[in-house]
Amino acid sequence: MLSVTPIPAFSDNYIWLLQAPDSGAWVVDPGDGAAVCKALDERGLTLDGILVTHHHMDHVGGLDLLVERYAPTIIGPDNPAITQIGQRVTDGDRVTVLGQTFKVLAVPGHTLDHIAYFCAQPTPLLFCGDTLFAGGCGRIFEGTAPMMYTSLQRLASLPADTRVYCAHEYTLANLAFAAAVEPDSGPLRERVAAARLLRENGEPTVPSNLALELATNPFLRATQPGVAHALAHRDGVDADDPVAVFAATRAWKDNF
């Protein structure tokens, strides 16, 4: 059984620390190497490996320091710009982390090289970087709206009890937007209240789970009448075209 702990970094990043009994440790997307070193030192751990989802500096900026100090295995997308990666992986590959098998999923859109890591057993886990957020999704910097929609639908097809480990504490802002899209949603009101309470207590709102995302995240709900009709009314898009609905939702959020 993997233990997963957030390491806060910068203003709103989470670097995920993975541990298993009688094993070392791995981290996911270490943008801040010093924060990782501090967390490992506090726990008396060494770093065996790193998973990388994409090339943005708030996800890879700490690699050089961690390589120098620990010489870990580094697994990541087949992008030569991330020079520290020792094992480059693509869609469908499988990697072993602390005795658990993770499947690599290509999820381009936020960036073209973006990948996610999914572990089915014993509890489904998803490390999705900046593709799917709690209550939202990443901006489309390098891909297209159809590409991002396809990537999100791929994640949406995973088991409903999948724990979703995204890389940022954006949840309250995302849910404020979600409430603008679906103002009459009871499940969304409940989620907003729960997220506010967590933040008031200084606790992270992530991980989420996929069932909750499917019920409240507008970027996974383009086929739902409430979202489709809201965007058709607001932007005149075809309510029966989920890609168009998604693209309009993302454009609305970009300027929200």
Catalytic status, residue 55: no
Q: Which of 29, 110, 113, 114 is catalytic?
A: 110
How far is it, in rounded angstroms, from Cα 157 to Cα 10? Answer: 32
Given the residues 54, 55, 113, 114, the one annotated as active site = 54
CA dihedral defined by 167, 173, 178, 180, rounded to 10 degrees? -160
Q: How many domains does the chain have?
A: 1
**Amino acid 83: pLDDT:** 97
- The beta strands (E) that lie in the chain are given as 3-9, 13-19, 25-28, 47-51, 73-77, 87-89, 94-97, 100-106, 115-119, 125-129, 132-133, 136-137, 163-166, 208-209
**Per-residue pLDDT reduced to its tens digit, 150-181:** 999 999 999 999 999 999 999 999 999 999 99
Radius of gyration of the chain (CA): 18
pTM reported for the whole predicted model:
0.97
pLDDT confidence of 69, banded at 50, 70, 90?
A: very high
Question: Average pLDDT for residues 66-85, to the nearest whole number?
Answer: 98
pLDDT digits (tens, 9 = 90+) for 7-24: 999 999 999 999 988 778
110 is annotated as an active-site residue? yes
Choice among 29, 32, 113, 130 that is catalytic: 130
**229 catalytic per annotation:** no
Q: Is 54 a catalytic residue?
A: yes
Distance between CA atoms of 75 and 150, rounded to whole angstroms? Answer: 24
* Pairing state between β 25-28 and 13-19: antiparallel
For residue 27, the domain's CATH number is 3.60.15.10
pLDDT of residue 23: 73
Confidence of residue 1 (pLDDT cuts 50, 70, 90): confident
Does residue 130 have an active-site annotation? yes
Whether 91 is a known active-site residue: answer: no
Q: Quick one: what percent of the chain has pLDDT higher than 70?
A: 100
Residue 52 has pLDDT above 90, yes or no: yes
Catalytic residue from among 29, 32, 58, 113: 58
Is 56 assigned a catalytic role?
yes
Query: Residue 246's pLDDT is what?
Result: 98
Which residue in the list 29, 32, 56, 113 is annotated as catalytic?
Answer: 56
Task: Show the domain range for 224.
Answer: 3-254
Q: Which of 29, 32, 55, 59 is catalytic?
A: 59
